[in-house]
A and B are shown apart, each in its own frame.
Chain A
């Protein structure tokens, strides 16, 4: 979009680039000796020590006390996946189209599907190997139903390299859905209004 200033690598007086004022490095032995003396006795070390001491006395600590406290995460953050349900019926949104499985560049998604008693495609099991997942977000982007999204849970350390989340881990529990706690995903892959979409005529 606005990449022109960055693309202009012609460093000259009228551009936004300028040279930082850096002292010449000493080359002679005498000049080097003078710089050592100057740095040793200037007392810059105490500036830093004073800052630490001052903050310690004030008890105004900025360190986040992880894991007791956590920083808020941006909506576009891509952590462990979630499978959402439809608000109205509580059914799974996933239709089992397999696009996430297809697009996955680290080949870590697998699903088992079958025809259910209502002649609909049913996803019987769904798994993501988090040990392979690179959290690129393609699965969420390609999903036509906004069924698979990235959640905020980034704590997925494990004892083994290969570790999996399955459908039950990712699917919104029904009680959370009824209590309205399923968050709609505003991030990567969510619906953006698009004026280029043309309306199909209907005969009735």
Chain B
């Protein structure tokens, strides 16, 4: 990428070669109207309003790339006439219900109509009847839709569901007279608009992962949240900048708050908004906002009991849905009183990072989701991407669709959502415990064999064998034939026989024996047939490689070996490596706390069970604020420390109050922000100094990035061979949550309230003779649970999963540390 200079309206602008003119202008504060364009997605060219003149030629700023020395003017009389006509067309038959529309002034149609100064209408067409449709969480009013197709674009290029498309609108064609009288682009835009409407691909219902990003990008009030509809106006909300508390992606969101009702002045969260040009949310982030611990007052008795419990306890067991500051408080309590800190899920990541660091020499992995967005070859190993971290899935999909990329998804459970992302993605559904084979395969295919240790390259070569295979090939063969033809002699008029030599090319199928290099690792991974051919196709012209690894590896019995392999991949291949932490602050907890592996005799549970329970879920012995009720920082997958603010008030005691009573003095929890340890990568900045916004150029100015510092590296780069016979088989279940659920907190939100069960695919149902009404007993060596059977249409294959979000299902009682477990399932 070269930096170039272009001139827009006389202003010199520095930008990258190949950047769209629109983005260059936006990054430099020059306004070009655009309705259908979404940053990070492909130009739709539906609105045509971003017309500019570049070197004397009219182009669309959203899809014309900047060239060095280009001279661009954003206004000429023709362009002005086009823009005016385009906005007039958008206003034709648009319902005058702005007073009740949920967009309530945050409307791009309204803004551009006023900006361009439309004060009269020249065009008309007979309106069609377009009744509003309810798609569950989403409400679509086609009468308000201006067919910018942003919803379709974001769903395809960013989310990867491709759940929306255009359908025929019906109604009259445009009056032919307009073609001659109207500006050209405005007519073309209208002609297209007048023919189509948005509809779900699945017919009347929306078949998707319910991220609601389409409602977020809608410039008008056509797509809105059904729950929010008509409850409030946009201007009444106070926007609380925050960080989503559900998964490790750490998406920037704003909680829109207002008084609950006329009678109740207490703040309530009405909806969540996001900067959709730069960050895309999932359904849990968008709809799972009201998980706060409500109506809590200061209960002095419970508080004293808590202090007493802390004095007697020897263990604090907690989950990763806490802020960095709280994690630091727990660590300080440990240092002062010698508690055991127990959080197995964060401990797994901590150990994984430690073993990774032994080879890589870095305390943190090198990649982040931005690198995945920019990659053109993405590999995911050991993570159920769709539900573990939706943003990682969006990044992969975005890379596949925007960078002409290809991707590989190694996971035992087949996920049709991943398949539907692109035709250049292949799923390798290996057996559980074979994750190491996948890592070895990556090392083998992409690793620099000359640089890596010889034992490793020798070991990798043992999987290669030359095999003789018979392949069918089509060969062009030249055939020379002598043909006898009957020709009428022109002179005599009689038929004569003439011999002619003709050469023809004939396609012929030939069986051929060829020596091919086969990789035995692919057999261990159950790679689909023809995988190596597909791969050759995928790997053509690829430059940026990204690998994402997930919790299947951290909990793997040979996690240490997996970590070392991941480090070797980062060292000897071109892959950037991103590790997906499980929960909102798993990475922060792993960096801040010295975690222990076993509980003692008397346990304090924080958001988890214990002899004395502190809980933000409202079910504990002492109520704690949930993550939307407190300020603090969360550490994301992108190694960024993001600030979050309290959206709704909390009337009870906080962990800091408990710690203060125990002798750690701080009046506010955020006083610990500046004390976050520098040697763990934190910067020691005050909470109030942390910014939380995106610039117009899309630059993320949020909190700060963790420093990855070099740690002592051992010379030993050895890795153990994997157990080729170790593949798990039989009846297996996985530990995962369904779409839109991450923890008991998401299940508390009123739009996401549901109860869990054993989630199974249709194949598994028929294989085990189960139906949706059944209840089953799931038994392992550890224990058993009795749960209802729930069909999940977004998985395939014969491995089901048990969730952790539903506290009524004690999945910890049956499942081991590794995410897959062998079970027996029987109907009850």
Residues of A participating in the B interface, judged by any CB pair closer than 8 Å: 95-99, 101-102, 110-115, 119-122, 125, 127, 144-145, 198, 200-204
Contacts of B125 in A (CB 8 A): 203
| Chain B 512-529 residues near chain A, CB threshold 8 A | none
Selected from A111, A121, A125, A202, the residue in CB contact (under 8 A) with B100 is: A121
- Interface presence of B119 (CB below 8 A): yes
Shortest CB-to-CB span from A107 to chain B, Å, is: 11
| Chain B 59-106 residues near chain A, CB threshold 8 A | 98-100, 104
Asked if B261 and A112 make an inter-chain contact with CB atoms under 8 angstroms apart, the answer reads: yes
- Interface presence of B471 (CB below 8 A): no
Encode B222-264 as 1/0 by CB contact (under 8 A) with A: 0000000111110110000000000000000000000101100
For residue A204, which residue of chain B has the nearest CB?
A: B126
16 interchain pairs (CB within 8 A)?
Answer: A95-B99, A96-B100, A98-B104, A101-B233, A101-B236, A110-B262, A112-B261, A112-B262, A113-B231, A121-B100, A122-B230, A127-B262, A198-B121, A201-B123, A202-B124, A203-B172
Shortest CB-to-CB span from A169 to chain B, Å, is: 13
Additional A-B contact list (8), CB under 8 Å, known A110-B262, A112-B262: A95-B100, A97-B100, A102-B236, A112-B261, A114-B230, A144-B99, A200-B124, A201-B124
Chain B: interface residue total (CB-CB under 8 A): 25
Asked if A97 and B99 make an inter-chain contact with CB atoms under 8 angstroms apart, the answer reads: yes
Contacts of A113 in B (CB 8 A): 230-232
For residue A99, which residue of chain B has the nearest CB?
A: B99
For residue A125, which residue of chain B has the nearest CB?
A: B262
Compute how far the CA of A122 lies from the CA of B100 in the bound complex, rounded to whole angstroms.
10
Compute how far the CA of A119 lies from the CA of B262 in the bound complex, rounded to whole angstroms.
22
Compute how far the CA of A102 lies from the CA of B104 in the bound complex, rounded to whole angstroms.
11
Shortest CB-to-CB span from A145 to chain B, Å, is: 8
Among B172, B233, B259, the one with the most A-chain Cβ atoms within 10 Å of its Cβ is B233
Compute how far the CA of A145 lies from the CA of B123 in the bound complex, rounded to whole angstroms.
27
- Interface presence of B132 (CB below 8 A): yes
- Interface presence of B122 (CB below 8 A): yes
| Chain B 688-716 residues near chain A, CB threshold 8 A | none
Asked if B119 and A198 make an inter-chain contact with CB atoms under 8 angstroms apart, the answer reads: yes
Chain B: interface secondary structure? loop
For residue B97, which residue of chain A has the nearest CB?
A: A95
Contacts of B123 in A (CB 8 A): 201
Sort A-B residue pairs by CB-CB distance and give the 5 closest, nearest first. Answer: A97-B99, A203-B124, A121-B230, A115-B230, A201-B124
For residue B102, which residue of chain A has the nearest CB?
A: A121
For residue B260, which residue of chain A has the nearest CB?
A: A112
Contacts of A122 in B (CB 8 A): 230
Shortest CB-to-CB span from B738 to chain A, Å, is: 28
Contacts of A198 in B (CB 8 A): 119-121
Contacts of B230 in A (CB 8 A): 96, 113-115, 121-122
For residue B263, which residue of chain A has the nearest CB?
A: A125
Contacts of B126 in A (CB 8 A): 203-204
Compute how far the CA of A99 lies from the CA of B230 in the bound complex, rounded to whole angstroms.
14
Compute how far the CA of A200 lies from the CA of B92 in the bound complex, rounded to whole angstroms.
9
Asked if A115 and B99 make an inter-chain contact with CB atoms under 8 angstroms apart, the answer reads: no
Contacts of A120 in B (CB 8 A): 100
Contacts of B229 in A (CB 8 A): 115
Compute how far the CA of A198 lies from the CA of B132 in the bound complex, rounded to whole angstroms.
30
Asked if B121 and A200 make an inter-chain contact with CB atoms under 8 angstroms apart, the answer reads: yes
Compute how far the CA of A163 lies from the CA of B233 in the bound complex, rounded to whole angstroms.
25
Q: A201-B121, A201-B124 are in contact. Are A98 and B231 (CB under 8 A)?
A: no
For residue A144, which residue of chain B has the nearest CB?
A: B99
Tally inter-chain residue pairs, CB-CB below 8 A: 59
| Chain B 113-161 residues near chain A, CB threshold 8 A | 119-126, 132
Contacts of A144 in B (CB 8 A): 99
Shortest CB-to-CB span from A197 to chain B, Å, is: 10
Compute how far the CA of A98 lies from the CA of B105 in the bound complex, rounded to whole angstroms.
11
Contacts of A203 in B (CB 8 A): 124-126, 172, 175
For residue B100, which residue of chain A has the nearest CB?
A: A121
Compute how far the CA of A145 lies from the CA of B66 in the bound complex, rounded to whole angstroms.
49
Contacts of A112 in B (CB 8 A): 261-262
For residue A164, which residue of chain B has the nearest CB?
A: B262
Compute how far the CA of A113 lies from the CA of B102 in the bound complex, rounded to whole angstroms.
12
Contacts of B232 in A (CB 8 A): 113
Asked if B124 and A102 make an inter-chain contact with CB atoms under 8 angstroms apart, the answer reads: no
Contacts of A97 in B (CB 8 A): 98-100, 233
For residue A200, which residue of chain B has the nearest CB?
A: B121
Compute how far the CA of A111 lies from the CA of B100 in the bound complex, rounded to whole angstroms.
13
Contacts of A119 in B (CB 8 A): 132
For residue A122, which residue of chain B has the nearest CB?
A: B230
| Chain B 361-391 residues near chain A, CB threshold 8 A | none
Asked if B262 and A111 make an inter-chain contact with CB atoms under 8 angstroms apart, the answer reads: yes
| Chain B 192-242 residues near chain A, CB threshold 8 A | 229-233, 235-236
Contacts of B122 in A (CB 8 A): 201
Contacts of B124 in A (CB 8 A): 200-203
Contacts of A110 in B (CB 8 A): 259, 262
Contacts of A200 in B (CB 8 A): 120-121, 124
Among B125, B126, B132, B262, the one with the most A-chain Cβ atoms within 10 Å of its Cβ is B262
Contacts of A127 in B (CB 8 A): 262
Selected from A98, A114, A202, A204, the residue in CB contact (under 8 A) with B233 is: A98
| Chain B 411-451 residues near chain A, CB threshold 8 A | none
Asked if B231 and A114 make an inter-chain contact with CB atoms under 8 angstroms apart, the answer reads: yes
Contacts of B98 in A (CB 8 A): 97
Compute how far the CA of A113 lies from the CA of B100 in the bound complex, rounded to whole angstroms.
10
Contacts of B99 in A (CB 8 A): 95-97, 99, 144-145
Compute how far the CA of A119 lies from the CA of B97 in the bound complex, rounded to whole angstroms.
13
Contacts of A111 in B (CB 8 A): 262
For residue B98, which residue of chain A has the nearest CB?
A: A97
Among B99, B122, B123, the one with the most A-chain Cβ atoms within 10 Å of its Cβ is B99
Contacts of B119 in A (CB 8 A): 198
Compute how far the CA of A101 lies from the CA of B124 in the bound complex, rounded to whole angstroms.
35
Contacts of A202 in B (CB 8 A): 124
Compute how far the CA of A95 lies from the CA of B236 in the bound complex, rounded to whole angstroms.
17
Compute how far the CA of A119 lies from the CA of B98 in the bound complex, rounded to whole angstroms.
15
Encode B677-691 as 1/0 by CB contact (under 8 A) with A: 000000000000000
Compute how far the CA of A58 lies from the CA of B578 in the bound complex, rounded to whole angstroms.
102
Compute how far the CA of A147 lies from the CA of B226 in the bound complex, rounded to whole angstroms.
27
Compute how far the CA of A120 lies from the CA of B119 in the bound complex, rounded to whole angstroms.
29
Selected from B175, B231, B233, B259, the residue in CB contact (under 8 A) with A102 is: B233
For residue A126, which residue of chain B has the nearest CB?
A: B262
For residue A111, which residue of chain B has the nearest CB?
A: B262
Selected from A96, A102, A145, A201, the residue in CB contact (under 8 A) with B235 is: A102
Compute how far the CA of A8 lies from the CA of B372 in the bound complex, rounded to whole angstroms.
74
For residue A198, which residue of chain B has the nearest CB?
A: B120
Compute how far the CA of A97 lies from the CA of B132 in the bound complex, rounded to whole angstroms.
20
Compute how far the CA of A102 lies from the CA of B235 in the bound complex, rounded to whole angstroms.
8
For residue A143, which residue of chain B has the nearest CB?
A: B99
Contacts of A98 in B (CB 8 A): 104, 233, 235-236
Compute how far the CA of A115 lies from the CA of B232 in the bound complex, rounded to whole angstroms.
10
For residue B99, which residue of chain A has the nearest CB?
A: A97
Compute how far the CA of A120 lies from the CA of B126 in the bound complex, rounded to whole angstroms.
24
Contacts of A101 in B (CB 8 A): 233, 236
Among B119, B172, B229, the one with the most A-chain Cβ atoms within 10 Å of its Cβ is B229
Among A101, A200, A204, the one with the most B-chain Cβ atoms within 10 Å of its Cβ is A200
Asked if B261 and A125 make an inter-chain contact with CB atoms under 8 angstroms apart, the answer reads: yes
Among B98, B230, B231, B261, the one with the most A-chain Cβ atoms within 10 Å of its Cβ is B230
Compute how far the CA of A96 lies from the CA of B120 in the bound complex, rounded to whole angstroms.
27
Shortest CB-to-CB span from A168 to chain B, Å, is: 13
For residue B141, which residue of chain A has the nearest CB?
A: A119
Compute how far the CA of A127 lies from the CA of B120 in the bound complex, rounded to whole angstroms.
38
Compute how far the CA of A102 lies from the CA of B125 in the bound complex, rounded to whole angstroms.
35
Compute how far the CA of A204 lies from the CA of B235 in the bound complex, rounded to whole angstroms.
37
Contacts of A145 in B (CB 8 A): 99
For residue B259, which residue of chain A has the nearest CB?
A: A110
Shortest CB-to-CB span from B127 to chain A, Å, is: 8
For residue B172, which residue of chain A has the nearest CB?
A: A203
Shortest CB-to-CB span from A202 to chain B, Å, is: 6
Shortest CB-to-CB span from A33 to chain B, Å, is: 70
Compute how far the CA of A97 lies from the CA of B122 in the bound complex, rounded to whole angstroms.
28
